[in-house]
Amino acid sequence: MPNCLTLKKSNCKNCYKCIRHCPVKAIRFSGNQAHIIGNECILCGHCFVVCPQNAKEIVDGTEKVRVLLQSGDPVVVSLAPSFVANYDGTGIGAMRKALKKLGFYDVEETAIGATFVKNEYERMLAEEDRDIVISSCCHSVNLLIQKYFPASLKYLADVMSPMQAHCSDIKKRIPNAKTVFIGPCVAKKDEGEYYEGIVDAVLTFEELTNWMKAEHIEPERETDADEESRARFFPTTGGVLKTMAQNAVGYTYVAVDGVENCISALKDIENGNVHKCFIEMSACAGSCIGGPVMEKYHRSPIKDYMTVATYAGERDFSVAQPSSPELRKNFSFIEHKLATPSEAEIMSALRQMGKFKASDELNCGSCGYNSCREKAIAICQGKAEISMCLPFLKDKAESFSDTIVKNTPNGLIVLNTNLEVQQINAAARKIMNIRAESDVLGESVVRILDPAVFLQVKNSGRSVRDQRIYLAEYKRYVEQTVVYDEDSRLLVGIMRDVTDEEAAREKKESISRQTVEVADKVVEKQMRIVQEIASLLGETAAETKIALTKLKESIGDE
């Protein structure tokens, strides 16, 4: 995981929104939790912006800056030109006053470094025989090319970013100076850490705002400026081009923003469709004023652009241009890819997802991947889980439910609140002699059953359980239970056919009645005999009568 992004696991709710919005799918799911894959991530910050639970956090660098301030060395801020959009109505002078209260030695605009970079781009196009030049100001774009489009590395301008160029200049001018960049970008934290010795710390506007609030410092509403500078346009789409003369012979100048558009442009380049072109690339839609911190907390693209445009000037900063070697920056390929699974492994993963033929591959994107095949590859690489396929889970749940409904010996009938049949299984159709499900679906239940019990449950909200009734029309006895599900607003009737039980019970009662009748006759006959004998013997009639009566009662009890 990149050091500048962390995950609060307790907040990750398995929604897959981050993978849906990650342009390079650099997120792995394990245990229903999202994990950023550091060597694949380009630090565009989309996952941070879109996370509905704020589970992605930018690592706070405030404490690191506090330590720098306590070192005794002069700590100078390089303030990204998008600050005028983030801090409404505040110019560089007002920001300098506010930040000096925090202990900073001085505050300068990163636009100074942007001027260095712009001048170097113009020299490069005028003096060097280059086919395509891609701006290298955006660290996320640089990472995108380094990790995913290595064939385009030769076109990436080997020039420092404005942040690096400015901080290098600060250290050259001010002895023992420490530099802190402040802007709207996550990727700059990584750039500052990776290229050591140039930028000592990076803060986001959010971190600075929280720090100033804690110290009860609020920048004054003054849109003052030290001097005009066209380079203040850099944080806008096409801002680099606005500062350039655009007079290199034979070159086309193009601005591309948003990672998806950058990817499309890079594919065009690698396919040989682009030549003699200077391309300004920004990972964020709207460039830096659409950076992740700006987008999440201060997103107002048109207003922000107008604010930057109003603050920018018509002339360049008056600067002492560093030499080309001083601005040189080398980019190398960053290996990141996991092994590509075999076709057999991909097909096995697809089958586990319930995709047995091409028509099963819905490519709905609910899992975050663009296609079922792409998801299957991610499963093979250990980045995704089968359970992320929502249509598969839905089908599996419905299949399991249908299996129970179809195979239970109990009759099931489901009604809506209008008492219309929504579902009926085979066992229920057998009880009511219904040929096909379609014969009754959508029809009122009164066509096939007395609706009284369903109305009772619907109106009272109390279930009826194990009620034994006789369905005269169907000549069947059933034991019925009716429940009302408030969430789905459905009435569910469960009927157990007890006709055979009733028949067996009636047969047993009939046998018992017959036995009692026979016993009565035997007792009556025996009584006559006993009376006759008693009249002869004159003794045990009463005892015999009692014994025979008990016999009769015992037979009757059965």
Sign of the torsion angle spanned by Cα atoms 137, 143, 149, 155: positive
- pLDDT, residue 353, reads 83
Segment among 169-183, 252-266, 360-374 with least mean pLDDT: 360-374
The torsion angles phi and psi of 3, rounded to 5 degrees, stand at -65, -25
What region does 461 belong to: left with phi over 0, alpha with psi -120 to 50, or beta?
Answer: left
- pLDDT, residue 405, reads 75
Give whole-number Cα distances, 242 to 56, 80, 137, in Å.
35, 17, 15
Q: How far is 415 from 491, CA to CA, in rounded Å?
A: 5
Give whole-number Cα distances, 233 to 82, 92, 229, in Å.
9, 15, 8
- Interval 24-50 mean pLDDT: 88
Q: How far is 285 from 67, CA to CA, in rounded Å?
A: 35
Q: How far is 152 from 132, CA to CA, in rounded Å?
A: 9
Q: Is 287 helix (H, G, I), strand (E, B) or coil?
A: helix
- pLDDT, residue 1, reads 40
End-to-end CA distance of the chain: 79
The torsion angles phi and psi of 204, rounded to 5 degrees, stand at -90, 165
Query: What are the tokens at 362?
Result: 């819905």
* pLDDT of residue 40 exceeding 60: yes
- Mean pLDDT highest for which of 352-356, 396-400, 542-546? 352-356
- pLDDT, residue 491, reads 93
The 10 Å Cβ neighbour count of residue 148 is 17
Q: Is 183 helix (H, G, I), strand (E, B) or coil?
A: strand
- pLDDT, residue 89, reads 87
- DSSP lists the bridge partners of residue 179 as 76
DSSP-derived letter for residue 483 is: E
- DSSP lists the bridge partners of residue 255 as 280
Which of the two residues, 157 and 357, has the higher pLDDT score? 157
Residues 194-208: pLDDT tens digits? 999 999 999 999 999
Q: How far is 375 from 365, CA to CA, in rounded Å?
A: 9
- Interval 350-369 mean pLDDT: 82
What region does 404 belong to: left with phi over 0, alpha with psi -120 to 50, or beta?
Answer: alpha
Residues 43-66: pLDDT tens digits? 999 998 988 888 888 889 999 999
Query: What are the tokens at 227?
Result: 């001097």
- DSSP lists the bridge partners of residue 481 as 494
- pLDDT, residue 507, reads 84
- Interval 410-428 mean pLDDT: 92
Q: How far is 72 from 103, CA to CA, in rounded Å?
A: 10
Q: Which residue has the tokens 């971190």?
A: 207
Question: In terms of C-beta density within 10 A (0-12 exposed, 13-18 middle, 19 or more buried), how is residue 197 classed?
Answer: exposed
- pLDDT, residue 551, reads 63
* pLDDT of residue 537 exceeding 90: no
Q: How far is 380 from 168, CA to CA, in rounded Å?
A: 45
Query: What are the tokens at 18?
Result: 């981050």
DSSP class per residue in 355-411: --SGGG-----TTSSSSHHHHHHHHHTTS--GGG-HHHHHHHHHHHHHHHHHH-SSE
Per-residue pLDDT band for 349 (boundaries 50, 70, 90) equals confident
Q: How far is 448 from 432, CA to CA, in rounded Å?
A: 7
Q: Which residue has the tokens 């500048």?
A: 4
Q: What is the pTM of this model?
A: 0.71
What region does 382 belong to: left with phi over 0, alpha with psi -120 to 50, or beta?
Answer: left
Which residue, 244, 281, 305, is CA-closest to 114? Answer: 244
**The 178-183 sheet, strands edge to edge:** 106-109, 75-79, 178-183, 201-204
- Mean pLDDT highest for which of 7-21, 155-169, 474-488? 155-169
Q: How far is 124 from 245, CA to CA, in rounded Å?
A: 13
